[in-house]
């Protein structure tokens, strides 16, 4: 079963509206979660590091006022795409670090496909 759950899997929204994506760690606490974006046929690009109880750390070129990240609990981080535009259409995916038989392992959520029309 999923170790990291992401919701929604698919979302279509109108240009100018905001969309919230949730990332939950199941059965483990994640003080740090990561948000990525992947455009078609491209690699995953780290957008920001979400830290529980403090401000997120954004990668260069990522607008923090447009991509709002909230990590209010040890099992939930949210990404809100504000005033979405068609160029924001992408695959958004989160990850969290958990403990496995092999030691610390990065687990990914199932991803969220955002289409802005």
Partner 1 sequence: RKEVEQDPGPFNVPEGATVAFNCTYSNSASQSFFWYRQDCRKEPKLLMSVYSSGNEDGRFTAQLNRASQYISLLIRDSKLSDSATYLCVVNGGAAGNKLTFGGGTRVLVKP
Does residue 77 touch partner 1 according to CB under 8 A? no
Region from 18-26, 68-76, 80-88, 106-114 binding partner 1, contact rule CB under 8 A: 106-114
CB-based contact 114:58 (threshold 8 Å): no
56 interacts with partner 1 by CB under 8 A: no
Apex 38 CA angle, 28 and 16, nearest 5: 100
Interacting residue ranges for partner 1, rule: CB under 8 A: 6, 34, 42-46, 49, 91, 93, 95, 102, 105-106, 108-111, 113
């Amino acid at each position: 079963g999923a170790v990291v759950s992401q919701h929604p899997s698919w979302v279509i929204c109108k240009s100018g509206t905001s969309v919230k994506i949730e990332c939950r760690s199941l059965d483990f606490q994640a003080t740090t979660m990561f948000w990525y974006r992947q455009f078609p046929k491209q690699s995953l690009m780290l957008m920001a590091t979400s830290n529980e109880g403090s401000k997120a750390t954004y990668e260069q070129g990522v607008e923090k006022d447009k991509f709002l990240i909230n990590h209010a609990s040890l099992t939930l981080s949210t990404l809100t795409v504000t005033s979405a535009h068609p160029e924001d259409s992408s695959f958004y995916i989160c990850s969290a670090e958990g403990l496995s038989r092999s030691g610390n392992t990065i687990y990914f959520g199932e991803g969220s496909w955002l289409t802005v029309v």
